[in-house]
Structure 1
Amino acid sequence: MTKFREMKAMAKQRLGARTGNRRLAAAGRTESAEARLLETKDKIKAAARKIRREYRSAR
């Protein structure tokens, strides 16, 4: 899902740049940043789950 968001944001950004639509390009940059943030959130959650699993199995 995150990769789809990032691709959509890149398309908006490029389309805005080619047509001279600054708002569309800015929206693409914003959505791209949001997609990267969500991906980072997912990685952090996965790392926390892994640590939690290792801690529980060590008990």
Structure 2
Amino acid sequence: MDKDRIEGIGKQVKGAVKDAAGKVTGDAALQAEGKTDKAEGKVQNAVGGAKDKVRDATD
């Protein structure tokens, strides 16, 4: 598993926590930051998945 996938999953989790905390506290900025982190994590996870596929294809 590529390190980008692991870091991406971590960002998604962190973003989900921030998003939920923003909803609970009514902090729109924190909620938006959480959504941004989740989106970044999804992209990073996809990049890691692509790297894994390339690595598997060359093996």
**Structures share a fold, TM > 0.5?**
yes
Unaligned 5+ runs, structure 1: 54-59
Which structure carries more relative contact order (alpha carbon 8 Å, separation 6+)? 2
- TM-score (norm: length of structure 1): 0.80
Q: CA RMSD of the aligned region, Å? A: 1.0
| Higher gyration radius (CA) | 1
1:33 alignment partner, one of 39, 42, 49 = 39
Runs (4+) of structure 1 exceeding 3 A deviation are none
Q: Tell me the residue number matched to 2:24.
A: 18
Q: Give the count of matched residue pairs.
A: 53
- TM-score (norm: length of structure 2): 0.80
Report % sequence identity.
25
Counterparts of 1:30 and 1:12 in 2: how far apart (Å)? Answer: 10
